[in-house]
């Protein structure tokens, strides 16, 4: 996952399969994309994809995302690269224990406040510190680029109602969420089991993406609007892609996930044995346990 392209956005394109490659065809011509080189494939309006192409993408662990014109909807993903439940179980142990969860939350915030001691802060204190940091980040980016800034304001049901910078921020954050989601599911973690965020099917996605917004999606959006582009929303999405590449974000994200959930990377991503849960130890499945009962 560390070496993959973060995401590829396509629209008004036909996608089919040739061997282990995805073939993208539109009015400009044809390109070949190795499925194993992709983290996420974003399918915009006017896209058609064949069953065979979905099959090779699923086998390669590519997150397939059907998105609207502004990339604001996430619908599906392929089977993860990780074929064991090890990472999900470790995540669940932390999320379901209040003391361990707070420790992990502090570790997440420590990544945002380098050099500061957050080891004794409560969640209320951490949230307050983060809120102040984000206000400062927006103000600094506005001053750096000269973009007029009031506040973060958007309506999930009315994208066009926002001004250029808020629409660009929504677009850039959505791209970052998609890449983060792809990394999380590919490694076998559970997007719904968040540490700081809770109650949504993408709680962990928001947790992890928040670690990088100040570096990736926020400056990308401000740069897009400052450039004077006729399409600041699309420009912001492309700027996110470029920043993800230049900062080598995906290897960092993989490392951060394993560190936060106190795991060593597992070099064996092969198929795992299917087991049955038991009070003492797991037992093999595929056997009739009538005699033991």
Task: State the average pLDDT over residues 84-105.
Answer: 94
Q: Residue 52: what pLDDT?
A: 92
Question: Beta partners for 21?
Answer: 18, 34
Q: Dihedral through CA 136, CA 142, CA 145, CA 146, nearest 10? A: -140
Q: Pick the residue with more confidence: 157 or 181? A: 181
User: Is residue 118 situated within a structural domain?
Assistant: yes
Q: What are the pLDDT digits (tens) for 128-179?
A: 999 999 999 999 999 999 999 988 887 766 667 778 999 999 999 989 998 8
Rounded to whole angstroms, the Cα distance separating 241 from 146 reads: 23
Cβ–Cβ < 8 Å for 110, 116: yes
Q: How far apart are the two ends of the chain, measured CA to CA in Å?
A: 44
The answer to whether residues 126 and 49 belong to one domain is no
The answer to whether residues 15 and 116 belong to one domain is no
User: Is residue 151 situated within a structural domain?
Assistant: yes
Q: Residue 293: what pLDDT?
A: 61
Helix (H) or strand (E) holding 244: helix 232-246
Task: State the average pLDDT over residues 218-240.
Answer: 94
Q: Residue 156: what pLDDT?
A: 67
Q: Residue 71: what pLDDT?
A: 61
The closest alpha carbon to 7, from 275, 240, 278, 266, belongs to 240
The answer to whether residues 46 and 121 belong to one domain is no
Is pLDDT at 181 greater than 60 in this prediction? yes
Q: Residue 84: what pLDDT?
A: 82
User: Is residue 268 situated within a structural domain?
Assistant: no
Cα dist. 40→88, 186, 256 in Å? 20, 10, 19
User: Is residue 282 situated within a structural domain?
Assistant: no
Task: State the average pLDDT over residues 113-142.
Answer: 91
Q: Residue 163: what pLDDT?
A: 86
Is pLDDT at 107 greater than 70 in this prediction? yes
pTM for the predicted model, two decimal places: 0.74
pLDDT band for 5, please (50, 70, 90 cuts): confident
Helix (H) or strand (E) holding 241: helix 232-246
Lowest average pLDDT, out of 147-161, 185-199, 228-242, goes to 147-161
With pLDDT > 90 as the criterion, what percentage of the chain qualifies? 54
Q: Residue 77: what pLDDT?
A: 55
In which domain, by residue range, is 235 found?
86-260
Tokens of 162: 């926002």
Q: Residue 145: what pLDDT?
A: 95
The answer to whether residues 20 and 98 belong to one domain is no
Q: What are the pLDDT digits (tens) for 24-79?
A: 999 899 999 988 888 888 888 889 999 999 888 888 878 787 877 766 665 555 55
CATH code of the domain covering residue 211 = 1.20.120.920
* DSSP string computed for 121-189: --HHHHHHHHHHHHHHHHHHHHHHHT--------BTTBGGGS-HHHHHHHHHHHHHHHHHHHHHHHTT-
User: Is residue 79 situated within a structural domain?
Assistant: no
State the total domains in the chain: 2
Tokens of 290: 């009538």
To the nearest whole number, what is the mean pLDDT of the chain?
A: 87
Is pLDDT at 3 greater than 80 in this prediction? no
Is pLDDT at 256 greater than 60 in this prediction? yes
Rounded to whole angstroms, the Cα distance separating 62 from 258 reads: 20
Q: Pick the residue with more confidence: 292 or 235? A: 235
Tokens of 190: 């559970």
């Amino acid at each position: 996952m560390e070496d993959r392209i973060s995401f590829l956005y396509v629209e008004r394109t036909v996608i089919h399969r040739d061997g282990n490659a995805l073939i993208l065809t539109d009015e400009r011509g044809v390109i070949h994309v190795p499925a194993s080189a992709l983290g996420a494939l974003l399918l915009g309006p006017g896209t058609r994809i064949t069953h065979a192409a979905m099959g090779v993408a699923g086998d390669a662990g590519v997150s397939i995302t059907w998105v609207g014109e502004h990339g604001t909807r996430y619908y599906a993903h392929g089977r993860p690269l990780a074929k064991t439940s090890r990472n999900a179980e470790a995540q669940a142990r932390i999320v379901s224990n209040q003391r361990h969860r707070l420790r992990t939350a502090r570790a997440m915030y420590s990544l945002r406040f380098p050099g500061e001691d957050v080891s004794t802060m409560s969640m209320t204190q951490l949230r307050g510190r983060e809120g102040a940091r984000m206000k400062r980040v927006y103000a600094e980016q506005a001053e750096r680029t000269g973009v007029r800034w009031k506040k973060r304001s958007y309506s999930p049901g009315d994208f066009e109602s926002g001004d250029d910078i808020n629409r660009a921020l929504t677009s850039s954050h959505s791209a970052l969420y998609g890449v983060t989601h792809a990394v999380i599911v590919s490694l076998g973690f559970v997007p719904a089991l968040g540490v700081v965020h809770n109650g949504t099917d993408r709680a962990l996605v928001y947790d992890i993406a928040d670690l990088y917004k100040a570096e990736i999606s926020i400056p990308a959006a401000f740069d897009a609007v400052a450039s004077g582009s006729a399409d600041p929303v699309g420009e912001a999405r492309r700027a996110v892609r470029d920043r993800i590449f230049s900062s080598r974000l995906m290897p960092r994200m993989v490392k951060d996930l394993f560190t936060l959930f106190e795991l060593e990377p597992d070099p064996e991503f092969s198929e795992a044995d299917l087991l049955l849960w038991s009070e003492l130890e797991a037992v093999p499945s595929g056997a009739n346990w009538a005699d033991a009962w």
